[in-house]
């Protein structure tokens, strides 16, 4: 064996490690691929060896090769092997490789579940950490389901290092396994207040991620986040929270009001630009959500805009960029405040940085007015000419169109100018946005009647020069405008000056090279033109012209009849036959023009894009019902729905065709290029610089030749838009002069009204009248259109599954507590092994007794009515009180929970118990209605404490006990004000308990988690002092050991001792060995094969100042008596120059308490237990206990592993269970400083000892 290891390590010396591999690759620059393939062969050999070190080395190298683009999924199984190594070094390598190359369809992933679970519960926190990190990258739905529970347990781990990782990974688990969100959420929420800032930040992170997708479910957390925001100093956390508020404010404007002040303060006070920027952003979001116009808010806007201006003026390009980005958000709601900074933004258009120019472009949208539109667009057109990259140029193009077309062409005064701009844009090479230009042309031509003559003339020229647009393959995108041009010329052919020429242009053979959908439009519109031409020609005496036209059609159309495109073919052959028939008639001298024109008579009205969607469904029509039985599946797949509005809305129908065509074309082109590249006989065309830049693989090596394009490509015969700018200028001047004259005439005539529907431009601009009398036809909508403007969510969004209502979970657990199906799955065999807890019985009973409960609640309601009647008398008094409350209202933030209940009770006097929904809403409402914000949350807390309302915690109303009816009655009358809250609390607690029942097998020694769970019962009371169950084991100048003992529920004979070792000296501590002298009753569990006196190696070393935790398992036989075991820790203290052997003796004290396990119990099960009479009685009195009752209970719960079954005023029943199934029941009562505890247990010795220990606990404090 030893020989083998030695041999292995010698082998290893000759293996390449990662460094050698990298070096080798660098030395083989010429034949890298070949070298790597030999390396992969070597790696394959190495993976076949048994030695894990060799395997790990091989896997490490594979990780590197994966980065270079090699698929290493074939080694997935080997990676799993390395992951399961017991050595941290190898494990880490394995997990790293897995995180780089595993994904959902990696099949070996399912083999990892148990290994990961083992690592998660490893005593070494770094094993756990590595497993969590790895898992975060490759978690699958299966892994998430199987491990959710383990990870949730880790959220309460003692080490913050593990806690924060566990909290973060929960987000990934939620995504893959949404069912885990509800059960895990309460604990996640707890972590928002974790003492460790890292954990807190992780929790904030996760909740922000969740809330971003489904903000409405997290609105109720606003008060908590608000508290965090005002108290946290961690900028990272603050940024996240502030961003979250930005997402929440749109849902709740009142939240915004509350936020403005603290955010403004932060803006003034912070020095961190990142924080400042996020604050500004959120203030903007708030302002957007609020109705504008309030005086104090305009100040906030000014502040924001001011700060943003500072950012934009900064020399740091990053700040400039962000400033512009935020500015564009303000623009949407407060355009005027942004407009005053127009100079700055126009300046940014000239920035050398493309990102900044893009952002400035966004802002331009809001900068334009009737006055400056032409000027701005002219500037943009200059940029279009200069722009190098296609992305930026395309962006410019879309922006120009956006700016001009916004709000129904509000700012366009001269449509001739606009059409010529559009025509100029068609000269762009290689743009993707041809269809955008086309749809604008169509839209303008259809909706602005006055422009049709001009538009048709322009389009005719375009068609005439079509070869310029289609000359080159790269211009495919732009040929879309021909679609528009052809349609416009056809539809409005009566305006054409020379229809015959256009007809010829449309029937050129070259047209057949255009995409099919464009050809189809050509053919159809050629027919329309034909009709117009005929009409014109028939008026003449000479009939030959008309016959020649028909002949032209008959000559040219067969080309289209042969088209591969079905649409073209069909239309062409129809029209061809029609023309042939017309020709026949013409030869007989029949006048046909009128009838042919009738084919295309009628005006097309524009239809709003959403019109179809908004047609209301008639009553009684079920669109989902089958009209006929569905045909077989294969058939239905073939039937693609056809676009209905192909003509009016070309956007709808075309993309599909073009996409397919273009993809296919691109593929073929690529293939052909490859072929040509490899063909030595092919004479290559020198590629244009543009092309080479985009497609050549080794860009760096090809010198980019700048082609001087200073002479802009001009389409002959087209007017330049520039001249319109001048013309417009002149026109306006003239108009102004006219107007002055008119004014002198005291406005004898009223200015002719404009046909414009939207005339809401700034007042100064009213002066500019459009050049044409423009009639913008509004788009048609169906009658009875539904006003809904539903923006449907993407059904594939993974976050949709996380849209889970969490409020009831948080506030009023009663509405929808966790159903059984929602609990996290625990490993099945464990659950079977676990002895049945009484709580489970209780639960079953609960279910059975639900019916009677309902009845009882009815009775209660009636009782309440009576009470209410009584109360009316005292109403007057109460009202006074209420006024007092209101006076205080401003700083009563902390008392929020009580207040709304009081209010609602007074308003719904006779009403039955208000539903928990309203209560919870009113909680938030109340918090939100407190407009002024207390600057100091502590202040609020003290006020809350001082509130004169006695707190009664987990007392219960709905499932009251048979044994304590009096108490319940009394309580109801006494504090019905708080009943609802109590119910909530109680249910919340129950829920926690239920969950705990599921988790406590995994609770090893997480004091932190335990504490917070117990805190749940007394949340709003005085804060508990910090408590820890760890007590000192032994200490010397080198090391300190503290320990805690927890029972193991799965095995009635085991307890787990968690020992934290803390290195107190400046030296390195290593080789620690932990040994205990076993007694007959208790034994340390040692690994198989070791003797009964061998020590256990502590699985870590301690650098100076570091502490770490190790766990040791002991088997015990009898648990009724406490016990002490003697033990020794030996270790080596290593200095730089010397090392010494040291030892430390200790005594492990196994108290009876440590055999108890916190087990929740339902009150009815508890009652049953007491009635059964199997239990022996005992009692104890504690004198001079001066702590609040809830502290006392919390202490018993925390230190002695009890849980509160019920609490009524100063009396509480508690329950716990030993690892061997003994029930321990306590009834704790307090009066003054005396506490009496009556206890029952089926094992009197155990009970006696436990009581002694409790007494001990309280004598110490």
Partner 1 sequence: MIKAILIFNNHGKPRLIRFYQYFAEDMQQQIIRETFHLVSKRDDNVCNFLEGGSLIGGSDYKLIYRHYATLYFVFCVDSSESELGILDLIQVFVETLDKCFENVCELDLIFHMDKVHYILQEVVMGGMVLETNMNEIVAQVEVQNRMEKSEVSLFLDR
Nearer to partner 1, 31 or 862 (CB): 31
Residues 6+ apart with CB under 8 A from 627: none
Backbone angles phi, psi at 973, to 5 degrees: -70, -40
Give the bridge partners for 1096, in sequence order. 1074
The residue from 136, 214, 1130, 1139 that contacts partner 1 (CB under 8 A) is: 136
Write out the H or E segment, with its range, that includes residue 446: helix 434-447
Contact track, partner 1, 1058-1077, x by CB under 8 A: ------------x-------
Does the footprint of partner 1 cover residue 104 (CB under 8 A)?
yes
Nearer to partner 1, 281 or 1014 (CB): 281
Nearer to partner 1, 347 or 676 (CB): 347
The residue from 37, 114, 269, 317 that contacts partner 1 (CB under 8 A) is: 317
Q: Applying CB under 8 A, which part among 273-281, 954-962, 1011-1019, 1156-1164 lies near partner 1?
A: 273-281
Residues 6+ apart with CB under 8 A from 625: none
Nearer to partner 1, 164 or 1217 (CB): 164
Closest CA to 455 of 427, 417, 498: 417
CB of 347 to partner 1, least distance (A): 16
Does the footprint of partner 1 cover residue 320 (CB under 8 A)?
yes
CB of 928 to partner 1, least distance (A): 24
Under 8 Å between Cβ of 414 and 770: yes
Binding residues among 169-208 for partner 1 as defined by CB under 8 A: 169, 171-172, 198, 201-202, 205-206, 208
Q: Applying CB under 8 A, which part among 100-108, 603-611, 667-675, 986-994 lies near partner 1?
A: 100-108
Under 8 Å between Cβ of 132 and 119: no
Nearer to partner 1, 12 or 731 (CB): 12
Residues 6+ apart with CB under 8 A from 730: none
Binding residues among 1095-1114 for partner 1 as defined by CB under 8 A: 1100-1101, 1103, 1106
Distance CA 126, CA 543 (A): 97
Helix, strand, coil percent values for the chain (each to nearest 5)? 60, 10, 30
CB of 279 to partner 1, least distance (A): 11
Q: In angstroms, what CA-CA distances link 628 with 38, 622, 623, 637, 1195? A: 64, 13, 12, 16, 71
DSSP letters of 462-529? HHHTHHHHHSSGGGGGGGHHHHHHHHHHHHTGGG-S-HHHHHHHHT-GGGGGS-HHHHHHHHHHHHHH
Nearer to partner 1, 173 or 774 (CB): 173
Does the footprint of partner 1 cover residue 19 (CB under 8 A)?
yes
CB atoms within 10 A of CB 1201: 24
The residue from 38, 231, 269, 391 that contacts partner 1 (CB under 8 A) is: 391
3-state secondary structure of 1227: strand
Does the footprint of partner 1 cover residue 1135 (CB under 8 A)?
no
Under 8 Å between Cβ of 356 and 399: no
Nearer to partner 1, 282 or 1158 (CB): 282
CB of 7 to partner 1, least distance (A): 13
The residue from 132, 941, 1033, 1175 that contacts partner 1 (CB under 8 A) is: 132
Nearer to partner 1, 697 or 1092 (CB): 697
Token pair recorded at residue 674 = 């490859």
Distance CA 718, CA 454 (A): 12
Output the CA torsion sign for 1169, 1171, 1173, 1175. Answer: positive
Give the bridge partners for 1055, in sequence order. 1047, 1114
Residues 6+ apart with CB under 8 A from 99: 133, 134, 136, 137, 138
Q: Applying CB under 8 A, which part among 130-138, 522-530, 631-639, 974-982 lies near partner 1?
A: 130-138
Binding residues among 30-69 for partner 1 as defined by CB under 8 A: 53, 60, 63-64, 66-69
Distance CA 290, CA 299 (A): 14
- CA atoms in the 13 A half-sphere facing the CB of 256: 23
Find the helix packing angle between 160-176 and 141-154, rounded to 10°: 150
Nearer to partner 1, 12 or 1229 (CB): 12
Binding residues among 148-167 for partner 1 as defined by CB under 8 A: 161, 164-165
The residue from 103, 668, 757, 884 that contacts partner 1 (CB under 8 A) is: 103
Closest CA to 712 of 429, 353, 1105, 337: 429
Does the footprint of partner 1 cover residue 365 (CB under 8 A)?
no
The residue from 637, 700, 763, 859 that contacts partner 1 (CB under 8 A) is: 700
Give the bridge partners for 1113, in sequence order. 1056
Nearer to partner 1, 318 or 733 (CB): 318
Does the footprint of partner 1 cover residue 699 (CB under 8 A)?
yes
Nearer to partner 1, 21 or 1194 (CB): 21
Nearer to partner 1, 130 or 446 (CB): 130
Output the CA torsion sign for 1214, 1216, 1222, 1228. Answer: negative
CB atoms within 10 A of CB 845: 15
Q: Applying CB under 8 A, which part among 351-359, 540-548, 940-948, 1234-1242 lies near partner 1?
A: 351-359
The residue from 4, 34, 48, 87 that contacts partner 1 (CB under 8 A) is: 87
Does the footprint of partner 1 cover residue 126 (CB under 8 A)?
yes
Contact track, partner 1, 659-698, x by CB under 8 A: ----------------------------------------
Contact track, partner 1, 274-313, x by CB under 8 A: x--xx-----------------------------------
Nearer to partner 1, 16 or 1168 (CB): 16
Please work out, in degrees rounded to the nearest 5, the angle formed at the alpha carbon of residue 1199 by the alpha carbons of 1194 and 1200. Answer: 100
CB of 172 to partner 1, least distance (A): 5
Does the footprint of partner 1 cover residue 98 (CB under 8 A)?
no
Does the footprint of partner 1 cover residue 713 (CB under 8 A)?
no
Does the footprint of partner 1 cover residue 705 (CB under 8 A)?
no
The residue from 92, 571, 978, 1003 that contacts partner 1 (CB under 8 A) is: 92
Binding residues among 212-271 for partner 1 as defined by CB under 8 A: 212, 236, 239, 243
Rg (CA), the chain: 41
Nearer to partner 1, 279 or 456 (CB): 279
CB of 1261 to partner 1, least distance (A): 34
CB of 1082 to partner 1, least distance (A): 31
Would you put residue 409 in left (φ > 0), alpha (ψ -120 to 50) or beta? left
Does the footprint of partner 1 cover residue 330 (CB under 8 A)?
no
Does the footprint of partner 1 cover residue 358 (CB under 8 A)?
yes
Indicate the Cα dihedral angle 512, 518, 519, 520, nearest 10°.
160
Buried b (16+ CB within 10 A) or exposed e, 876-898: eebeeeeeebeeebebbbbbbbb
CB atoms within 10 A of CB 142: 14
CB of 1101 to partner 1, least distance (A): 6
Under 8 Å between Cβ of 1228 and 1237: yes
Token pair recorded at residue 946 = 């001082």
The residue from 280, 287, 322, 1059 that contacts partner 1 (CB under 8 A) is: 322
Binding residues among 777-836 for partner 1 as defined by CB under 8 A: none
The residue from 179, 209, 923, 1206 that contacts partner 1 (CB under 8 A) is: 209
Nearer to partner 1, 355 or 369 (CB): 355
Write out the H or E segment, with its range, that includes residue 150: helix 141-154
Binding residues among 740-779 for partner 1 as defined by CB under 8 A: none
DSSP, res 615: S
């Amino acid at each position: 064996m030893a020989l083998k290891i030695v041999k292995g390590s010698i082998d290893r010396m000759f293996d390449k490690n990662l460094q050698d591999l990298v070096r080798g690759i660098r030395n083989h620059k010429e034949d890298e691929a070949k070298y790597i393939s030999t390396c992969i062969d070597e790696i394959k050999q190495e993976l076949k060896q048994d030695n894990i070190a060799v395997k790990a080395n091989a896997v490490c190298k594979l990780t590197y090769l994966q980065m270079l683009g090699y698929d290493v999924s074939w080694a997935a199984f080997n990676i799993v092997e390395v992951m399961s190594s017991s050595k941290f070094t190898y494990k880490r390598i394995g997990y790293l490789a897995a995180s780089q190359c595993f994904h959902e369809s990696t099949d070996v992933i399912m083999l990892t579940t148990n290994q990961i679970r083992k690592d998660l519960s490893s005593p070494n926190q770094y094993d756990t950490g590595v497993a969590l990190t790895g898992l975060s990258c490759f978690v699958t739905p299966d892994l998430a389901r199987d491990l959710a529970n383990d990870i949730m347990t880790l959220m309460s781990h003692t080490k913050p290092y593990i806690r924060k990782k566990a909290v973060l990974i929960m987000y990934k688990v939620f995504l893959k396994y949404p069912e885990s969100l509800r059960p895990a959420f309460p604990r996640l929420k707890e972590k928002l207040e974790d003492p460790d800032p890292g954990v807190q930040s992780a929790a904030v992170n996760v909740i922000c991620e969740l809330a971003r997708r489904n903000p409405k479910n997290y609105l109720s957390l606003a008060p908590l986040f608000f508290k965090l925001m005002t108290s946290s100093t961690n900028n990272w956390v603050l940024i996240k929270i502030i961003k979250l508020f930005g997402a929440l404010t749109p849902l709740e404007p009142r939240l915004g009001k509350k936020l403005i002040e603290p955010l403004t303060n932060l803006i003034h006070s912070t020095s961190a630009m990142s924080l400042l920027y996020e604050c500004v952003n959120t203030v903007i979001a708030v302002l957007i959500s609020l109705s504008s116009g309030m005086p104090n808010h305009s100040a906030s806007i000014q502040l924001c805009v001011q700060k943003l201006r500072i950012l934009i003026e900064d020399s740091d390009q990053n700040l400039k960029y962000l400033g512009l980005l935020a500015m564009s958000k303000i623009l949407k709601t407060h355009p005027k405040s942004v407009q005053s900074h127009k100079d700055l933004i126009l300046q940014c258009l000239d920035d050398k940085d493309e990102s900044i120019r893009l952002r400035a472009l966004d802002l331009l949208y809001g900068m334009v007015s009737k006055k400056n539109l032409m000027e701005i667009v002219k500037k943009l057109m200059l940029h279009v000419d200069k722009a190098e990259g296609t992305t930026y140029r395309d962006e410019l193009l879309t922006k120009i169109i956006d700016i001009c077309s916004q709000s129904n062409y509000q700012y366009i005064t001269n449509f001739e100018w606009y059409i010529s701009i559009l025509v100029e844009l068609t000269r762009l090479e290689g743009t993707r946005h041809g269809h955008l230009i086309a749809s604008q042309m169509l839209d303008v031509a259809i909706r602005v009647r006055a422009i049709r003559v001009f538009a048709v003339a322009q389009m005719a020229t375009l068609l005439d020069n079509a070869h310029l647009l289609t000359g080159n393959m790269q211009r495919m995108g732009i040929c879309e405008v021909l679609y528009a041009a052809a349609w416009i010329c056809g539809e409005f052919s009566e305006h054409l000056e020379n229809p015959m020429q256009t007809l010829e242009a449309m029937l050129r053979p070259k047209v057949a090279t255009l995409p099919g959908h464009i050809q189809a439009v050509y053919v159809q519109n050629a027919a329309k033109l034909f009709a117009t031409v005929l009409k014109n020609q028939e008026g003449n005496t000479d009939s030959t012209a008309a016959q020649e036209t028909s002949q032209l059609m008959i000559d040219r159309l067969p080309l289209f009849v042969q088209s591969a495109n079905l649409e073209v073919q069909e239309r062409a052959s129809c029209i061809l036959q029609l023309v042939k028939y017309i020709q026949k008639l013409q030869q007989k001298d029949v006048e046909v023009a009128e009838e042919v024109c009738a084919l295309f008579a009628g005006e097309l009205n524009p239809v709003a894009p959403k019109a179809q969607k908004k047609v209301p469904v008639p009553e009684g029509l079920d669109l989902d019902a089958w009209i006929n039985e569905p045909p077989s599946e294969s058939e239905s797949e073939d039937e693609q729905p056809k676009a209905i509005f192909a003509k009016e809305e070309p956007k709808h129908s075309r993309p599909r065709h073009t996409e397919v065509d273009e993809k296919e074309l691109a593929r073929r082109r690529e293939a052909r290029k490859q072929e040509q590249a490899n063909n030595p006989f092919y004479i290559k065309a020198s590629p244009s610089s543009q092309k080479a830049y985009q497609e050549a693989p080794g860009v760096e090596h090809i010198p980019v030749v700048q082609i001087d394009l200073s002479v802009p490509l001009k389409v002959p015969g087209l007017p330049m838009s520039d001249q319109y700018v001048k013309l417009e200028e002149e026109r306006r001047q003239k108009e102004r002069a006219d107007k002055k004259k008119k004014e002198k005439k005291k406005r004898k005539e009223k200015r002719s009204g404009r046909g414009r529907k939207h005339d809401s431009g700034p007042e100064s601009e009213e002066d500019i009248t459009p050049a044409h009398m423009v009639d913008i036809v509004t788009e048609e909508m169906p009658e009875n259109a539904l006003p809904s403007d539903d923006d449907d969510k993407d059904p594939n969004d993974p976050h949709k599954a996380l849209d889970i209502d969490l409020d009831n979970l948080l506030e009023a657990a009663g509405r929808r507590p966790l159903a059984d199906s929602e609990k996290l799955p625990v490993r099945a065999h464990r659950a079977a092994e676990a002895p049945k807890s009484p709580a489970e019985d209780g639960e079953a009973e609960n279910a059975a007794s639900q019916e009677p409960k309902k009845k009882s609640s009815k009775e209660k309601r009636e009782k309440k009515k009576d009470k209410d009647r009584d109360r009316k008398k005292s109403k007057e008094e109460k009202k006074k009180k209420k006024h007092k409350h209101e006076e205080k209202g401003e700083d009563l933030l902390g008392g929020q929970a009580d207040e709304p209940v009081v209010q609602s009770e007074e308003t719904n006097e006779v009403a039955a118990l208000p539903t928990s929904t309203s209560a919870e809403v009113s909680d938030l409402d109340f918090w939100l209605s407190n407009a002024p914000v207390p600057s100091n949350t502590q202040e609020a807390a003290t006020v809350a404490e001082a509130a004169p309302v006695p707190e009664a915690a987990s007392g219960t109303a709905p499932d009251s006990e048979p044994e304590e009816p009096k108490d319940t009655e009394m309580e109801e009358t006494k504090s019905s004000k708080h009943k609802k809250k109590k119910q909530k609390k109680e249910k919340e607690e129950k829920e926690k308990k239920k969950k705990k029942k599921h988790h406590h097998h995994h609770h090893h020694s997480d004091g932190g988690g335990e504490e917070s769970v117990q805190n749940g019962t007394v949340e709003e009371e005085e804060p508990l002092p910090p408590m820890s169950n760890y007590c000192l084991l032994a200490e010397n100048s080198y090391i300190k050991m503290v320990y805690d003992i927890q029972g193991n529920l799965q095995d009635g004979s085991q307890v787990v001792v968690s020992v934290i070792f803390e290195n107190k000296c400046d030296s390195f501590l290593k080789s620690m060995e932990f040994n205990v002298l076993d007694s007959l009753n208790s034994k340390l569990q040692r690994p198989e094969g070791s003797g009964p006196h061998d020590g256990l190696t502590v699985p870590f070393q301690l650098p100076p100042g570091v502490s770490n935790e190790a766990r040791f398992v002991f088997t015990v036989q009898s648990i009724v008596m406490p016990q002490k075991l003697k033990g020794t820790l030996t270790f080596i203290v290593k200095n730089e120059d010397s090392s010494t052997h040291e030892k430390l003796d200790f005594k492990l004290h196994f108290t009876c308490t440590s055999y108890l396990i916190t087990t929740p119990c339902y009150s009815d099960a508890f009652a049953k237990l007491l009635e059964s009479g199997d239990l022996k009685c005992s009692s104890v009195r504690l004198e001079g206990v001066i702590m609040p009752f809830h502290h006392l209970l919390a202490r018993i719960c925390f230190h002695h592993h009890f849980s509160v079954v019920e609490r009524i005023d100063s009396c509480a029943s508690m329950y716990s269970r030993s690892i061997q199934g003994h029930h321990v029941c306590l009834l704790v009562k307090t009066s003054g400083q005396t506490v009496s505890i009556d206890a029952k247990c089926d094992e009197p010795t155990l009970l006696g000892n436990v009581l002694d220990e409790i007494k001990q606990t309280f004598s110490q404090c």
